[in-house]
Amino acid sequence: MWSILGADALYIDIPSVTKARLSELAGGGEKEDLFRSFLDRSEIMFLINGSTEECSFFITVPEELTPDDIQLMADVILKVASSDHRFVAVKDAEQRYKIIINNNREPELLGLNKTPGMSSVEVFKPIFRALDSPGRLNNQFEI
């Protein structure tokens, strides 16, 4: 059984438990309330590296957040991570972890929600155009 900041979690529940526990343990105050509003609009993804056994928490924040807002989030998360609770543990053994906060969204190339103009062919068209554009030296051609 996994433990996230003192709360038990199944592997598939780790992102939601992490969000709930960060919100609970943030404390009170204007800064913490702002943190909670940012966290509510953020997505958390959890991954574990099977080779290094390091846990990664990817927090993707809304694009409209400023660098100062992201720094505020990092400060509150650091305060919570420094508390008496282990951030992530398995069978009472504390795990190595890292927290990554970003606001970059990858375009979806496949599926129902694919980003317009980002199908796999569209991504490579500029490369194809650059390779066959006029004025490029053909290294295979000998005079």
Per-residue pLDDT tens digits of the chain, which is 143 residues long: 899 998 999 999 999 999 999 999 998 889 999 999 999 999 999 999 989 889 999 999 988 888 899 999 999 999 999 988 889 999 888 999 999 998 876 666 666 776 666 666 666 777 777 776 666 666 676 66
| Residue 132 near residue 124 (C-beta atoms within 8 A) | no
pTM: 0.70
CB-based contacts of 68, cutoff 8 Å, min separation 6 = none
Q: Which of 101, 75, 94 is nearest to 5 (CA)?
A: 94
What domains can be seen in the chain, in order of their start residue?
2-106 (3.30.300)
Q: Which of 85, 95, 110, 3 is nearest to 48 (CA)?
A: 95
